[in-house]
Structure 1
Amino acid sequence: MEKSHYYCSTMNILGVNVHYEVYEKYPTKPTMVLIHGFLSSSFCYRKIIPLLENEFRIIAIDLPPFGKTEKSTRFVHSYKNMANLVIQLVESLQIKKAYIVGHSMGGQVSLIAAKERPDLFEKVVLLCSSGYMKRVHPTLIFGSYVPYFYLCIKHWLARQGVLKNLYNVVYDRSLIDQEMMDGYMEPFHDDRIFMALNRMIRDHEGDLGAEELKLIEQPSLLIWGDEDKIVPVQVGERLNKDLPNSTFFSFKNTGHLVPEERPEHVTEKIFDFCQAN
């Protein structure tokens, strides 16, 4: 019987139980760490993992409070703390060097991790990364201290609905099927996620500024969708100017969910980028 090259596990880091998945078809291949975006999980990489795993050992992490990771109200949900969590998990797996890939919010987490540990993360791939966002409005931060404010968050997300949210993030709506809706909806069946999101509003510190971005010297690959409504392509072009060693690509007729919409193209760009000296 062939030995499985996939396993998932949980590790307690910074007081929270973190779910991660490992794909090691060829364990000696370079390691690639995948970080998802806001209101998402490692599920968003389901189409590119099978294409990447022949060339990389892959670690896909569910950031708190998303995916299968614990929905904690004690964890500080700042980008810096999330980056620290990623660093500690990667080090605990005895990984000395890795490529890091971040989608949307995961792009900011990846940038901070790369800035903090250039020795650990040698190249960065940003897929429609968030950029230049400020801290949330003080009124919203004040609201997060109001008892049961998390129910307002739950109500707002329920009113949006999974289908409406997916319409916002993909250009070709024919890609949306039941499997996709179920996969993105699953973590929200647990009410504790709304309590943790309430805490996240309080902890969110805003994105890295231009001066901090200029300190990130690792090679960076930026991939965008021209029709991205969540993080417009102009943000990617601005990041390309501020990151000193970056390359920028954008795909036509593509929205925010580039790993779902353009898996083959994204994988091809990642291969070329990681194999270049």
Structure 2
Amino acid sequence: MKTKQIHKEMITIGNLHVYCEYVLNNKPPIILIHGFVSSTYTFKHIIPLLAEKFSVVAIDLPGFGRSEKSKKFIYSFKNYAKLIVECLNFFNLNKVTIVGHSMGGQIALYMAKYFPDKLTNLILLSSSGYLEKVKNPLFFGSYLPFSRFFLERYIKRKNVRSSVENVFYNHQLITEELLKEFQIPLMDKDFYISLLRLLRHREGDFTTEQLLEIQVPTLLIWGSEDKVVPVEIGNRLVTDLPNAKLITYEKTGHLLTHERPLKLYNDIVTYTSEK
């Protein structure tokens, strides 16, 4: 299998500097959205596979990875969805398959609710679900003068390896490169400002009533050993989404893009080819 060239560059979308990895080859487009405190590195093993069948675009969401940590951007799911639409316009893409991992799954659902004409399929990987908006004490606390320093101290107290182990079932797949990638944003002081703004602006996840309104065909894929977003959330989502099916991977954790890239690729290709 010949490896397609993956372009990696900073682009400007909506006055924001956004890091992007993409392969454009006149094949059906697929957009990859990473989760909380993550980046395009989530899709490191699956982008080369997907490029055999799709034009692939993955970005670091503003506030994460190598993208701008803006102090003005409103870090809401709806604004992230609007930014993805601007990304589609930047690359002149339409009728796309959206793949969202973890928090990226909620952003993908916002795409499906507010911009359904842009989508052909929705694929949710261990998607966030049913979380409420932040409580008022934390919301107002985020405006305190030294809140950024408290957040930075709290996060840096956590051991990066133990945090990464929490998203894997098979710890043997954890590499030094992967640990380094997870550490990169922690060294940027503006990263913590972005997190505080996300804390303020993030809407709650969709309710059952809102999910029932989404008609985009949806594939849910979950790791049975997911400790971050348990498979029970997938079982609820597949019931609440009108046009959805669920696949579960045994002996797989939250970061299934690293643990089961080939199986994931095959399931995506099979699902999208049936539509």
Partner of 1:46: 44
Match of 1:143 among 138, 141, 144: 141
> In structure 2, what is the equivalent of residue 186 of structure 1?
184
1:20 — aligned with what? Answer: 20
Structure 2 residue 258 is the aligned partner of structure 1 residue 257: no
Give the letter aligned to residue 233 of structure 1: V
How far apart, CA to CA, are the structure 2 residues paired with 1:259 and 1:7?
Answer: 20
| C-alpha displacement of 1:188 | 2.1
CA displacement, residues 148-195 of structure 1 (integer Å, 9 cap, x when unaligned): 211111111111121111011111111111011012221222111011
Quick one: distance in 2 between partners of 1:115 and 1:11? 26
1:59 to partner: Cα distance: 0.2
Structure 1's unaligned 5+ residue stretches are none
Amino acid at match of 1:8: K
Whether 2:12 is the aligned partner of 1:9: answer no
Distance 1:210 1:14 in 2: 32
1:76–1:199: 8 Å Cα contact kept in structure 2?
A: yes
Partner of 1:111: 109
- Please give the residue correspondences for 1:99-248 in structure 2 after superposition, counting only pairs within 5 Å: 99-248=97-246
Q: Does the residue aligned with 1:33 lie in a helix, a strand or coil?
A: strand
The runs of at least 4 consecutive aligned structure 1 residues that moved more than 4 Å come to: none
C-alpha distance in structure 2 between counterparts of 1:199 and 1:157, whole Å: 16
- Residues 113-122 or 218-227, more deviating: 113-122
In structure 2, the gaps of 5 or more residues are none
Structure 2 residue 54 is the aligned partner of structure 1 residue 29: no
Equivalences, count: 274
SS in 2 for 1:134: coil
Give the alignment's TM-score, normalised by structure 2: 0.96
Give secondary structure in 1 for the equivalent of 2:116.
coil
Q: Which moved more, 1:7-16 or 1:29-38?
A: 7-16
Check conservation: 1:15, 1:75, Cα contact below 8 A. Answer: no
Q: Does the CA-based 8 Å contact 1:77-1:200 persist in structure 2?
A: yes
On the 8 A contact 2:13/2:90 being kept in 1, the answer is no
**1:237 match: secondary structure:** helix
Distance 1:145 1:153 in 2: 12
CA RMSD in angstroms comes to 1.5
Deviation at 1:143, TM superposition (A): 1.2
If the length of structure 1 is used for normalisation, what is the TM-score? 0.95
Q: 1: distance between equivalents of 2:216 and 2:226?
A: 25
Preserved contact between residue 43 and residue 184 of structure 1 (Cα < 8 Å): no
